[in-house]
Structure 1
Amino acid sequence: MKREISSRYLSLVTLCVVGGTVSVQAQSDIDASLHGLVNARLSFADSERSIFDGGFGKLRYGGDGENGNERFRIAEIALVGRLKFGDGFTLHGHIQHNPDQSSEVDIVEVYLRYKPVQLRQWQYSVRAGAFFPPVSFENEGLAWGNKYTITNSAANTWIAEEIRPIGAEFTAEYKGETLNAEIQATIFGGNDRAGDALGFRGFTLNDSKIGLLGDLPIADIEGVRSDRVNRPFVETDARPGFALGVNLTRPGLGEIRLYGYDNRANSRQVGSEGRLWEARFINITAKPELPDDWTIIGQFQFGETKVQPTEDEGSFFGTNFTTGSLLVAKEFGRVQLASRIEFFDQNDPSTIATTPPLAEDGWALTTAIKYRASKHHIVSAEYLYTSSDRAGGFENTPISQRENLLQINYQFRF
């Protein structure tokens, strides 16, 4: 059911019932909408234990360490609401139920945006709250869903797990005849432990979004991590982080996004949830404009995570990380085919010996088919293969993994 309230005065109310769908429209200075989705998932996985079961598997679903696993479950329930009011104000909220999280219901995004009507080339807006950074052309669907595959890339999986600026973002937008440009400047907090899971556990590939109250599972690393969780969205050192983004769009050519992030965490400090991690990265994403319903998206991300447990700046442990992906998709009416190949890598420049070492490298291939039966019903199937080698895992020994995952997903949208 969808309810919409729009326009200027409460003078006209129309009630329509069509095929069991009720729509309420009224004239007012308020415009409210509520949308949602339910993802029901059938999965067939190899024996590697996933991170959600305490393992080092790279994928959302896995086995018990010795045998594969088949399971059917509700993978996600999400609600996304928007309330427009006044002269350019929009309140956005996104809540979810994720069975892999400790919180039954959690907040993924919540922010207030102000963008008044501006009839000029330069336009301005600001939003304040908790929001995803503008880094992905793939995750532009409802509830930060992927428009092409079930599983997100390694880069966007990490964004959904540990990166959620909680602060204010100012955007200046230029609308020209041949070029549109946006510049975003963000000051934020609440990301003091971003990079903890990436450093200790490495990259993963899944579609799970960590809520603001949730925690991220990490494998039980002998002598290092016994709590097995990271709560990434905390503020301990009272030092704001900064981010800067640039979006360029040329009609007929395409779009490119550049985004730089630095949480400026005091990595010498230990908070209530554990030691703080200094994390910074640069993300570059390009989407050329192509004919005949073809889509190509390239994404490249590199950065570092670091902990400095003493005043000696030369004594630290952490990783330098890099990941890149190329997605190709094609529309055939209601059917969409998509394939993405990607790599991920971490090297360990630590001057303090870590047990186990934090280095890893790997690659993955994802192939998906999506059928849009109607605006409310979408069926997808996906095969995902990943190969990875990590310097240390269980009992501090190197691990090599070759994982296969077949997923069939039914999505109901409203």
Structure 2
Amino acid sequence: MKYWVWMLCLFSSITLAAEHKVSGVVDVRASYTDGITSYVDAGLGKFRFNPNGQLSLAQGGLSYQLDWDNPLSAHVVANAYWDGVRDNIGLTEAYLKYKGLPWSNGLRLSAKIGILYPDISMENIATAWSSPYTLTYSSINSWIGEEVRHIGGQFSLEHLGKFSGSSHDFQLVAELFQNNDTTGAMISWHGWTNSSRQTLWQEKLPLSALPSLNGGSFTEQAKESDPFLELDYHLGYHVKTQWRLQGLGRVELGYYDNDVDTGLVKEGQYTWLTQFGHVGTKWRLPYHIELIAQYIKGDTSMRSLSGINVVDNDYESGFMLLSHRWQKHRISFRFENFSVTDNDLTLDDDNRENGNAVTLSYGYQLRKGWFLQAEYNRIDSTRPAREAQGYDKDLIEEQWQFASRYYF
């Protein structure tokens, strides 16, 4: 008992000596969707919200940071949603961070350990992994927010050019992780989406009523996918390199591999081997225009208990975003293209898909931290699997949104 009292007193003294920082975002949104049942609600619709209009808490994000008087800090991020589709609250990130001071030669070491996103997104840079550019994320970042997260460690080595009189910075990032063995299920079974929802750490994701999942080829598969599950205890990895021109922009290139042993299934959850490469760039152009472009290409596969490759998909997606900010205004335009190629011979599991999406967003800063934003989204996609649910395989879905977002 004395030991626990001593530990409590020690922890209290440490936290009292540290600096506490709390920030957050409250996003109240009115939306109207012209489409089919949302993928969040076990449908094959490309948007987060179900058809017709609604008023929702699209995001209630809270970020807590504890900074000690050294390079070490702790971070916890939680998100809440009350959207009439799936109302919930929970953690999305939780990690310890080390950011060392640069050495005299310009090298600096940094590290994170905990529940992390892979270091990929160029859009979702605001509080609680929100985007300052648009209300909906690109298809790449919608997928990352849904099922590409893990428990792991991230290690970064930077060379800062200013220490040698250069305007060029270089960075190498390496990540090792687990709790990602089902990553690939959602990109296969409902395809690419445009969303603004991050999967909470404790959540499971509903699967649509497809022939293969409804008495067909995958009788062992549970009705929901657990996106942050560890089944084979292999370590996955992600590596990224970045070149940055100070004050102007950057280019980065990376590769992700969850290194899963396919053919395992436990409590209705199969293991998926998911790998992809990604390239991205972000630049400040003349007239206060910002350019972001990203491209991802990879494959995912899943084997049956008998060792047959029953799902074997290639996928790719890319977008270009232009954003212009002046005074209290910001206007952003994004165009993207995406596809899934089905390479297996499982007849009742057609995952083929191709399409494009357009987003036009306008925001106005009403006062410090408070933004009003209006947005139009359009997705034109072809997915044959929709025919099994009575919809056309070729479908145009549209969405109009108006949001009041307050950052504190």
Quick one: distance in 2 between partners of 1:245 and 1:271?
A: 32
CA–CA distance in 2 between the matches of 1:365 and 1:372? 23
Q: Which residue, 232, 241, 248 being the options, matches 2:243? A: 248
Residue identity in the other structure for 1:378: F
Q: Give the aligned partner of residue 130 of structure 2.
A: 145
1:356 alignment partner AA:
D
Aligned pairs, how many? 380
Are the structure 2 counterparts of residues 87 and 318 from structure 1 closer, same or farther at C-alpha, using a change threshold of 3 Å? same
Q: Structure 1 residue 96 and structure 2 residue 79: aligned?
A: yes
| Structure 1 position 112 matched with structure 2 position 96 | yes
Q: Distance in 2 between matches of 1:296 and 1:182?
A: 21
Structure 1 residue 205 corresponds to structure 2 residue 188: no
Within the candidate set 381, 389, 413, 2:407 is matched to 413
Report the alpha carbon displacement of residue 298 of structure 1 after superposing the two structures with TM. Answer: 0.7
Asked if residue 261 in structure 1 is aligned to residue 249 in structure 2, the reply is: no
- 8 Å contact kept, 2:37–2:50: yes
Structure 2, unaligned runs of 5 or more:
1-15, 216-221
Q: Work out the CA distance in 2 between the residues paired with 1:57 and 1:331.
A: 32
For residue 395 of structure 1, report the CA deviation from its aligned partner: 2.4
* Pairing of 1:207-222 with structure 2 (within 5 A): 207-222=196-211
CA separation of 1:53/1:316 partners in 2, compared to 1, >3 Å: closer, same or farther? closer
Distance 1:371 1:103 in 2: 28
Cα separation, 2, equivalents of 1:376 and 1:125 = 29
- Equivalents in 1 of 2:367, 2:110: separation in Å? 34
CA–CA distance in structure 2, aligned partners of residues 396 and 42 of structure 1: 28
C-alpha separation in 2, matches of 1:34 and 1:273: 39
Shift of 1:366: 0.3
5 Å matches for 1:9-408? 29-63=17-51, 69-99=52-82, 104-120=88-104, 121-176=106-161, 177-225=166-214, 227-251=222-246, 253-309=248-304, 315-350=309-344, 352-393=345-386, 395=388, 399-408=393-402
1:76-128 CA-to-partner distances (Å, cap 9, x unmatched) read 11100111114210101101112368673211000001123233311111110
- Secondary structure of residue in 1 paired with 2:285: coil
Per-residue deviation, residues 354-380 of structure 1 (Å, max 9, x unmatched)? 413111001010000011112231110
Deviation, structure 1 residue 214: 1.1
> If each structure's helix is expressed as a fraction of its own residues, which one has the higher value?
2
2:146 aligned counterpart, secondary structure: helix
What is the letter of the counterpart of residue 388 of structure 2? E
| Secondary structure class of the residue paired with 2:395 | strand
Cα 1:103–1:59 change in 2 (3 A) is closer
TM-score (norm 1): 0.87
Residues 342-399 of structure 1, C-alpha deviations (whole Å, 9 max, x = no match): 011011111x314131110010100000111122311100000110101213527762
Letter in 1 for 2:66: L
TM-score if structure 2 supplies the norm length? 0.89
Q: Which moved more, 1:266-275 or 1:90-99?
A: 266-275
**Match of residue 12 from structure 1:** none
Q: Does structure 2 retain, via aligned residues, the 8 Å contact 1:110–1:129?
A: yes
Q: Give, in whole Å, the separation in 1 of the partners of 2:253 and 2:192.
A: 21
Matched to 1:211, the amino acid is: L
Unaligned runs of at least 5 residues, structure 1: 1-27, 64-68
Distance in 2, matches of 1:300 and 1:413, equals 29
Offset of residue 74 of structure 1: 1.1
SS across alignment from 1:392: helix
1:167 Cα deviation (Å)?
0.7
How many angstroms apart in 1 are the aligned matches of 2:129 and 2:195? 13
Instruction: Find the counterpart in structure 2 of residue 19 from structure 1.
Output: none
Question: 1:43 and 1:396, CA in 2 relative to 1: closer, same or farther beyond 3 A?
Answer: closer
Q: CA RMSD in A?
A: 1.9
Matched residues in 1 for 2:62 and 2:268: separation? 29
Contact map agreement 1:102 1:215 (CA 8 A) in 2: no
- C-alpha change, 1:301 and 1:308, in structure 2 (3 Å) is same
Paired residue for 1:16?
A: none
In 1, Cα distance between the equivalents of 2:406 and 2:45?
29
CA positional deviation for 1:252: 5.4
Shift of 1:404: 0.8
Q: Deviations over 1:34-88 (max 9, x none)?
A: 011111110111141111233211011232xxxxx11111111110011111421
- Compute the displacement of 1:237 (Å): 0.6
